[in-house]
Amino acid sequence: MRIGIVGAMDEELVPIRALSQSLEKIVKGNRIFWRGDMRGSEVYLTRCDPGKVNAVIAAQQLLDFFAPDCLFNMGSSGALSPDLEVGDLVVVTEAIQHDFDLTGWGMKPGEILFDVKTAEKGGLTFASRQVFPTDPKLTELAYKAAGSVELDRLKDRSPRVHKGRIVSGDQFIGSLEKASQLWNTHQALAVDMEAAALAHACQINNVPFLCVRAMSDKADHSANVSFTDFLAAATHNYGRVFGALIQRLGH
């Protein structure tokens, strides 16, 4: 199997690269890719940087250059659900672009238009989609893989693994008011800046998509854990989950 992996930060890709044999650096234009062999799978990784446009550009280039059979995204997110603690993992089942807003047209929050045309008698015809799902088989495999490995502890607490919805937008959600509004509107477990755009790109390209996110903060911002401490534990956990997932994909 050929697997593509996109992460917003290079640090999030380091533990996955460490699993590779015969690691090779590939430069195309201004982007760096890494190729490695992992338990019989050919893996291509690249950093996208934060934001939906950055994510989609990186994903499309990876898909066009290397034609992977599926695309993975691993990274950090902010918790929206009050049940999530720092370090908890969310295996994403579906994603919504929360900052896409056509509610003035009577659309749902995050609902996106496709195939927009002018109708013969005036007005517009179009298709629409609000929710972009991840691949069910990959999601279930990743959920089982995450539950099968020992995860690094944070503040004497073992992270838990959840499945559910994520919302994405080109905004850093730093206020309790905005976080509460997203939770009340979408009932999403977490918020980030890339996942929904990547899910959208994969759906357009008919490529299975998987997303696993670690929570960098609590919904009420009350966690007393530094981002450095979080990132160290989270990146190790990504590596363990990915290693267990690769083993399951080989069976």
pTM: 0.93
Closest by CA position to 227, among listed 89, 88, 86: 86
pLDDT in tens, 108-153: 999 998 888 887 777 777 888 999 999 999 999 999 999 999 998 8
pLDDT in tens, 167-217: 999 998 888 999 999 999 999 999 999 999 999 999 999 999 999 999 988
Q: What CATH number should be reported for the domain holding residue 171?
A: 3.40.50.1580
Cα-based distances in Å from 223 to 106, 151, 193, 220: 38, 19, 21, 8
Positive or negative, the CA dihedral 59, 65, 66, 69 is positive
- Total structural domains within the chain: 1
Domain extent at residue 102: 2-249
Active site residues: 12, 217
